[in-house]
Amino acid sequence: MLGAVDPTTTPHWAALSRHARELDAVHLRELFARDPGRAERLTRAVGDLVVDLSKQKVTDEVLAALVGLAGDTGVADRLAALFAGERINVTENRPVLHVALRAPAGTRILVDGHDVVADVHATLERCFDFARRVRAGEWTGATGRPVRTVVNIGIGGSDLGPVMAYEALAAYRHPRLRCRFVSNVDGTDLVRALEGLDPAETLFIVSSKTFTTVETMTNARSARAWLVGALGPDAVASHMVAVSTNREAVEAFGIDPDNMFGFWEWVGGRYSMDSAIGLSTMIAVGPENFRRLLEGFRTVDEHVRDTPPADNVAFLTGLVAVWNRSLLGLPTRVILPYSRALHRFPAYLQQLDMESNGKRVRLDGSPVTYPTGPVVWGEPGTNGQHSFHQLLHQGTTVVPADFIVFAEPDHGPDDLPDADEHHDLLVANALAQAEALAFGRTADEVAAAGVAPELVPHRTFPGDRPSTLIMAPRLTPGVLGQLVALYEHQVFVQGAVWGIDSFDQWGVELGKALATVIGPELAAGAPIGAHDSSTRAAVERYRRWRGRAAPDTAAT
């Protein structure tokens, strides 16, 4: 079985454990001081992305051992199996083929003897045709008026990718069209999304692979009721479309199956933003910009597939993430995009990483004996500097950071006369934060600056806190695709080293199953099942507060 090797049993893991102990006493200051060429040697490029690993707590020997560990654990073989369409999602017996979503036309990837790339391009062309009609005002609603607002209803990968891309590519949006996104089953989410909208100019995209996701379908039914209440039942045909694999359920819901855009079981939700799930993105930025997004993904896919591990940016960044989590024992990772447009990128990566690699058993079902997926979080700079950066610099927990920086702003002088001043300040802050985290400020340096002795401990920064700097010329559709694909492949590399299945998500199922049990119990007079005492008390309290308790218990 691919991934069957326990990484802790390999010679390279032993070497890495030794390096970790040795480097514990070596500060990043020292690593830079004794190696003037460190920054140049530890910087790599892929597409438009320049990735600087020199502020990570690694040496040439560490990187060589990490590459060796990748060899020991069969990462390259598992990657080849992914690109070949083999069923590497072992618990669901499925291929993992998000790379097929951006493969060029004419590429052949076979699943059970069927060329899936041809299917991908046929679906993309249908999506592009629909997007063009909406953008041109040719797709009209029940009253003959064009669409002005697209409301995407989904959750998880059917929401996080589209909303992230919509925000990230704000500079490329159609001037007439706006998108809103509904994911939470909390009715407030839908109420706010519909606020101020004209039903006659609103198009709903219901995005659910199975078309049974409880949160999505609850919101979709309420949206349909809102629409029908204003325009009548015939309006559904021209105001609601679906992205799903379940034609029967789409038709039963009342959406014309001719207005359904499909995707496939071999696409995980968190890897699906470049499929028909991205229909709202296609409408917002247009088919040509979406093609550029796909080209960006493809640039990294080809780099990862064809580049030896020692120069492979996704391999190296993924291996460094393994080093930080499993060898250095660092439990979290912060994503710091110095770009307001990427304000939803940390949330997107939370799902990508934590749903993929938050696993406690290996591919063969045996328990892991080493830390796997870190807690991923973040916030755009410079907001985070006035929030949690205090902990990053002087807290007791070391948090590896990814800084993402663009040379050009998303806007120009017509939008903001002093745009250069703003952007220079933004970039200066990003570079300063990375420098401060790495090198800190010693007590002697603080005292030499004239700080009162009693304040010196408070003004001292330990430094020695690792970070990666990712830079690109500008946040374009292509660069966004490169950035997302880089993190996708990082996640893959980590999971392959750890020997876990990065492509299932059974951890989301138990709570969902219990919710279907508890939901009916919230009704007045319903029997309450065999729950723990805390859950039972909470159900009873909820019913009491909603006026659903039996008369003899209503006052208790």
Superfamily of structural domain 7-96+289-413+439-504: Glucose-6-phosphate isomerase like protein; domain 1 (3.40.50.10490)
Q: Which of 114, 422, 458, 512 is the catalytic position?
A: 512
Q: Do residues 176 and 148 touch, judged by C-beta distance below 8 A?
A: yes
Backbone angles phi, psi at 403, to 5 degrees: -100, 130
Token output for 146: 């064009």
To the query of whether residue 386 is one of the catalytic residues in this protein, the response is: yes
Walk along the chain (556 residues) in steps of 10 and give the mean pLDDT of each run: 84 98 97 97 98 98 98 96 96 96 94 94 97 97 97 96 98 97 97 98 96 94 97 96 94 94 93 97 98 98 97 98 98 98 98 97 95 97 96 98 96 80 96 98 97 97 98 98 98 97 93 93 94 96 92 54
Q: Same fold for the domain at 7-96+289-413+439-504 and the one at 103-285?
A: yes
Write the pLDDT tens digit of every residue in 52-86: 999 999 999 999 999 999 999 999 999 999 999 99
Q: Which of 355, 389, 393, 488 is the catalytic position?
A: 355
Q: Do residues 1 and 90 touch, judged by C-beta distance below 8 A?
A: yes
Classify residue 316 as left (phi > 0), alpha (psi -120 to 50) or beta.
Answer: alpha
To the query of whether residue 445 is one of the catalytic residues in this protein, the response is: no
- Cα separation, 30 vs 18, in Å, equals 19
Measured CA to CA in angstroms, residue 201 lies from 91, 142, 146, 214, 240 at distances of: 44, 9, 6, 27, 12
Q: Which of 40, 195, 386, 454 is the catalytic position?
A: 386
The three-state DSSP-derived secondary structure of 468-516 is EEEEECCCCHHHHHHHHHHHHHHHHHHHHHHCCCCCCCHHHHHHHHHHH
| pLDDT in the model for residue 417 | 84
Q: Domain limits of the chain?
A: 7-96+289-413+439-504, 103-285, 507-545
Q: Do residues 112 and 118 touch, judged by C-beta distance below 8 A?
A: no
| pLDDT in the model for residue 555 | 47
What is the C-alpha end-to-end distance of the chain, expressed in Å?
58
To the query of whether residue 355 is one of the catalytic residues in this protein, the response is: yes
Q: How many CB atoms lie within 10 A of CB 209?
A: 24
State which fold the 103-285 domain adopts. Answer: Rossmann fold (3.40.50)
